[in-house]
Structure 1
Amino acid sequence: MSDDAPRYWTPAYVERFVEALNRDDEFQDTAGSFSETIELRCLDTPDAEDVTATYTFEEGRVVDVDLWIDDAPSDQMREEAVDTDAIMARATAPYDVWMQMDQGEMGATEAIASPDYKIDGSMMQIMSNMGVFRGMMSVAADVEKTY
């Protein structure tokens, strides 16, 4: 692992993750015409922050990502309602759960069943796009990083 590998859930990591998603042929094949917005929230990072990353996809490519970083616990972030007109799905979990998923210790199905992982949105839409979510997890796991 190189010295310049960003730590997981930092802005530098998110930037590398987006680049990796957009250049990964297997993910692009899986994502195909996926054109939705997904919000991922990580609570209690090692920097004592809560982080929200909102990814907007068009035709399987990330065309925009918005980051919101606040001191943990961010009451404003944690209490924010989901705007299901703008966001297809929002997943929220503590840093250690995201880390377990990233390291392959917990799969998507196990995460959904975990009381520490919360997913909001239409379960029918989420389940019909599980290939995209699994693909995102796979690409994320391959991005060089530190924890």
Structure 2
Amino acid sequence: MIQFYSKAWLDEMARRMETDPRFLAEGKKLNGTFVFRIYDGPDGKDRRTQWTFKQGKALEWKYEDHPTPWQALREEPFSANYVSRTTTTFEKAARLNRGEITVQRALSSPDYKIEGNMSLIMAMMKSFNVWNLIASEIPVEYDLAPEP
């Protein structure tokens, strides 16, 4: 089974976005670079993913992880080159992916933050919702073992 928030998970998401009719129909508004910082994984790692889209087509996706706390990631300033940057804990990301909480509820939490042009982000909300739906349909393992 694929580990949640791993390189394999990102690759599977990208593969599905290329063929999923829902994403092909609703994802066209995604343009630009989106960054996700995920802190405090159960395996003792922080994660950073970066996606670049053009009219809903994923041109590039990157994955990095380092032992927590990954200070360079946590102190990285927001770049105007990003459409958005989302920062949250692994646990909050897992709860969102399992459908236990909504994005709206996460946004009211102190451990979930979205930075960027909010009017642009809101215009892309349908695309984000389908992106999240595709992510949630990938069978994953959440309880990652710490590395020895």
Q: Does the pair score TM above 0.5? A: yes
Q: Could you tell me which residue of structure 2 aligns to residue 36 of structure 1?
A: 32
TM-score by length of 1: 0.91
For 1:134, the aligned partner's letter is N
On the 8 A contact 2:85/2:116 being kept in 1, the answer is yes
1:22 and 2:22 correspond: no
Q: Could you tell me which residue of structure 2 aligns to residue 112 of structure 1?
A: 107
Residue of 79, 82, 88 corresponding to 1:83: 79
Shift of 1:92: 0.8
Q: Between Structure 1 and Structure 2, how many residues are aligned?
A: 142
For 1:96, the aligned partner's letter is E
* 3-state SS of paired residue (2:3): coil
Higher-strand-fraction structure: 2
Q: Could you tell me which residue of structure 2 aligns to residue 131 of structure 1?
A: 126
Which 4+ stretches in 1 moved above 6 angstroms?
A: none
Aligned-pair identity in percent equals 25
* 3-state SS of paired residue (2:62): strand
For residues 87 and 115 of structure 2, what CA distance do their matches in structure 1 show?
Answer: 9
**Partner deviation per Cα, 1:19-55 (whole Å, 9 max, x = no partner):** 1122211012111242211111111112211111100
1:71 and 2:72 correspond: no
TM-score by length of 2: 0.91
For residues 130 and 109 of structure 2, what CA distance do their matches in structure 1 show?
Answer: 20
Shift of 1:145: 1.2
For 1:99, the aligned partner's letter is A
| Alignment gaps of 5+ in structure 2 | 143-148
Q: What RMSD, in angstroms, separates the aligned Cα atoms of the two structures?
A: 1.1
| Alignment gaps of 5+ in structure 1 | none
